[in-house]
Amino acid sequence: MPAFQFISRNEPVYLPFSRPKYKISMGLVALQLKDWIEADEYFYDELKEKKQLLISNYPEVFASRPGSLPAQTEVLALVLNHMEKYCPGVLKIEHDEVILPKLKWKFRIRDFEESPLDLCGRFVQEDLCLMAPGPDGYTLEAASLCFPARWRLMDKMGLPMSGIHKPVPDYSEKLSRPVDSFFNRIDVDRPVWRVNWSLTTDPTMFQPVRQKAQCVRAIYYVKECW
């Protein structure tokens, strides 16, 4: 079996800001399942950073609500299956252990019986947020969030989409109803993806604190942005 090829950031795959005119929208695109979980050249570096954050800031980077365990367990099984199939050699499963050979890391699955999404977040670069349906629509029920873009997990747990996105300009007026409608008719056999983009003067991955307005304006006057 050929070695897995990590994606290079020298050739960006996603350029959502390249459109000639900005238009606020959900921007949904049909997902090919082979592209669901990606791994680029910073894969191992970012997993190491996650590990340190989980040691030093656990309540800030992982949380779950009662009742979310079955869904967390399902996500773990799906991601493990995907990684084994599409990222050969990066991850192995032996008996009760998830193994990352390159880092010489081993995780016992039974050690994460109460937090399977926590385990899942330790071997993918992405943050993982689990939304579940309820009386108030879909709410945030569990998350592994080591690389937040100016928001705090503890502020959003249990909130519906409208509450989570309350600080987002124009969300309530232009996006709230379309997003709720999409979630109400989401189909397990028709996965989709979307991207956001932003500018920041700080390349740090763990950024839970929201920028002040003057900081955002200052971005226009600096030479380096990420």
Whole-prediction pTM: 0.89
pLDDT at 140: 98
2 located within any domain: no
pLDDT at 1: 60
Mean pLDDT across 128-149: 95
3 located within any domain: no
For 75-112, the pLDDT digits (tens) are 999 999 999 999 999 999 999 999 999 999 999 999 99
68 located within any domain: yes
156 located within any domain: yes
Q: What is the DSSP letter of 42?
A: T
226 located within any domain: no
pLDDT over threshold 60, residue 225: no
- Whether residue 54 contacts residue 62, with contact meaning beta carbons closer than 8 Å, is answered with yes
For 33-50, the pLDDT digits (tens) are 999 999 999 999 999 999
pLDDT over threshold 80, residue 19: no
Helix (H, G, I), strand (E, B) or coil at 181: helix
Taking alpha carbons only, the member of 55, 40, 53 closest to residue 8 is: 40
| CA atoms 2, 108, 36, 11: torsion sign | negative
User: Average per-residue pLDDT in the chain?
Assistant: 90
pLDDT over threshold 60, residue 218: no
7 located within any domain: no
8 located within any domain: no
Helix (H, G, I), strand (E, B) or coil at 211: coil
Domains held by the chain: number: 1
> By residue range, what is the domain housing residue 51?
16-221
What's the helix, strand, coil split of the chain in %, to 5? Answer: 35, 15, 45
pLDDT at 21: 73
Select the more confidently predicted residue: 119 or 11.
119
Mean pLDDT across 204-213: 83
Distance CA 129, CA 117 (A): 9
pLDDT over threshold 60, residue 226: no
Distance CA 224, CA 173 (A): 33
User: How many Cα atoms sit within 13 Å of 49 on the Cβ side?
Assistant: 16
C-alpha distance from residue 137 to each of 24, 132, 144, 179, 188 (Å): 22, 8, 21, 11, 17
Sequential DSSP letters for 57-110: -HHHHEEE-TT-HHHHHHHHHHHHHHHHHHSTTT-EEETTEEEETTTTEEEEGG
Distance CA 198, CA 207 (A): 13
4 located within any domain: no
